[in-house]
Amino acid sequence: MNVLARYGLSLGLLLLANAADARMYQWVDPVTGSVQMSGRPPAWYRSDWDGPRVRVFDNGTVVDDTSINVADDEMRALREEAFRQFDEILQLNALKRLESDALRAAEREERVTSVEGLMVDELDDKPAEPLPDSLDDDTIGQLKDLIKQWDSLNLPL
């Protein structure tokens, strides 16, 4: 993936992220009495199920309160909109993960290519000679240098 395509994809995802509402759903847990907040609407939100009162905040402003009775059509519309927005956020997060995975894969491919280039450049056609039972200090130093060079490439195993 070239640099321009990466920036274009990143910009598109950023614009989508800004379009997503910062909605929070707040209710009191009937068992513990503690206030619960979530970016995901609870299962009983604006449904026929009996559940605790839910207040919905959008960027700090209350936009819905389930203690206020509304018509069935409006109740269904509020519920559908809440879960639609949550699904959009899930899809956006999935796109972000895909982009991140693609960038990591491209970086990994670049590192592997550079390693393959090193290995091919340094190999010759004759087979490697077996190492002696004992190594002199010069050979040990060369092996340590090779290990440091390999470690500097940060390749995943």
Nearest to 44 by CA among 74, 21, 78, 70: 78
Tell whether 129 is covered by a domain.
no
Question: In sequence order, what are the beta bridge partners of 35?
Answer: 28
Residues in the chain: 157
- Report pLDDT digits (tens) over 37-72: 999 899 889 888 888 999 999 888 888 998 888 888
SS3 (DSSP) at 44: coil
C-alpha to C-alpha distance for 41 and 114, rounded to whole angstroms: 48
The predicted-structure confidence for 89-146, as pLDDT tens digits, reads as follows 889 999 999 999 999 988 888 877 766 655 554 555 667 777 677 888 888 898 898 8
* Sheet of 61-65, strands arranged across: 35-38, 23-28, 55-58, 61-65
Q: Is residue 105 part of a domain?
A: yes
In a domain, 18, yes or no: yes
- Residue 22: which pLDDT band, with cuts at 50, 70 and 90? confident
**Cα–Cα dist 39/92, whole Å:** 14
DSSP 103-138: HHHHHHHHHHHHHHHHHHHH--SSPPPPPPSS--HH
Residue 2 has pLDDT above 70, yes or no: no
Total count of domains within the chain: 1
Tokens for 44, please give them. Answer: 């009983």
Task: Identify whether 127 is part of a domain.
Answer: no
Amino acid at the residue 115:
V
Q: Regarding predicted confidence, which is higher, 18 or 64?
A: 64
Could you count the other beta carbons within 10 Å of the beta carbon of residue 54? 21
> What is residue 72's predicted lDDT score, i.e. its pLDDT?
85
Domain, as residue range, for 7: 3-122+134-152
Structure tokens at 60: 């700090």
Mean per-residue pLDDT, 15-35? 77
